[in-house]
Amino acid sequence: MSGFNALQAVENAAGQFEQVMVQREIDQLPAGELLVRVKYSSLNYKDALSASGNRGVTRSFPHTPGIDAAGVVEASAVAEFGVGDEVIVTGYDLGMNTSGGFAQYIRIPAAWALKRPKGLSLREAMLLGTAGLTAALCVDKLEQAGMTPDAGPVLVTGATGGVGSIAVVLLNTLGYRVAASTGKAEQAVFLKGLGAQEIVSRAELLEGVERPVLKERWGGAVDTVGGDILVNVLKSLRYGSSAACCGLTAGVALNGSVLPFILRGVNLLGVDSVELPLVVKASMWDRLSLQWKLDLEPLVTELGLAELPQAIGRILAGQQVGRVLVNLD
Percentage above 90 pLDDT, the chain: 95
Nearest to 33 by CA among 110, 97, 92: 110
CATH superfamily of 130-270: NAD(P)-binding Rossmann-like Domain (3.40.50.720)
CB proximity list for 14: less than 8 A, separation 6 or greater: none
Q: How far apart are the first and last CA of the chain?
A: 17
Q: What is the pLDDT of residues 183-229, one digit of tens each?
A: 998 999 999 999 999 999 999 999 999 999 999 999 999 999 999 99
Q: Where in the chain is the domain with CATH 3.90.180.10?
A: 4-116+296-327
Q: What is the pLDDT of residues 238-296, one digit of tens each?
A: 999 999 999 988 889 999 999 999 999 999 999 999 999 999 999 999 999 999 999 99
Q: Which CATH architecture has domain 4-116+296-327?
A: Alpha-Beta Complex (3.90)
Q: Where in the chain is the domain with CATH 3.40.50.720?
A: 130-270
Q: Do 237 and 266 touch, CB atoms closer than 8 A?
A: yes
Give 31: exposed, middle or buried? Use CB within 10 Å, 0-12, 13-18, 19+.
exposed
pLDDT at 319 over 60: yes
The overall average pLDDT reported for the chain is 96
Q: Do 7 and 101 touch, CB atoms closer than 8 A?
A: no
Q: What is the DSSP string of 191-218?
A: HHHHT-SEEEEHHHHTTTTTSS-----B
pLDDT greater at residue 320 or residue 75: 75
Q: How many residues does the chain have?
A: 329
- For residue 1, the model assigns a pLDDT of 56
CA atoms of 65 and 93, how far apart (whole Å): 10
pTM: 0.95
CA atoms of 190 and 176, how far apart (whole Å): 18
Residue 47: helix, strand or coil by DSSP? helix
pLDDT at 2 over 80: no
- Report the run of H or E that residue 243 belongs to, with start and end: strand 242-245
Is the torsion defined by CA of 206, 210, 211, 213 positive or negative? Answer: positive
- For residue 234, the model assigns a pLDDT of 98
Q: Do 100 and 64 touch, CB atoms closer than 8 A?
A: yes
- Report the run of H or E that residue 267 belongs to, with start and end: strand 267-270
Amino acid at 244: A
Q: What is the pLDDT of residues 72-85, one digit of tens each?
A: 999 999 999 999 99
Q: What is the pLDDT of residues 124-141, one digit of tens each?
A: 999 999 999 999 999 999
DSSP state of 185: G
Averaged over 105-126, what is the pLDDT? 97
CA atoms of 129 and 295, how far apart (whole Å): 14
Q: Do 33 and 109 touch, CB atoms closer than 8 A?
A: yes
Greatest Cα pair distance, the chain, in angstroms, is 64
- For residue 310, the model assigns a pLDDT of 95
Nearest to 134 by CA among 270, 246, 7, 225: 246
DSSP lists the bridge partners of residue 139 as: none
Give 54: exposed, middle or buried? Use CB within 10 Å, 0-12, 13-18, 19+.
middle
- Report the run of H or E that residue 295 belongs to, with start and end: none
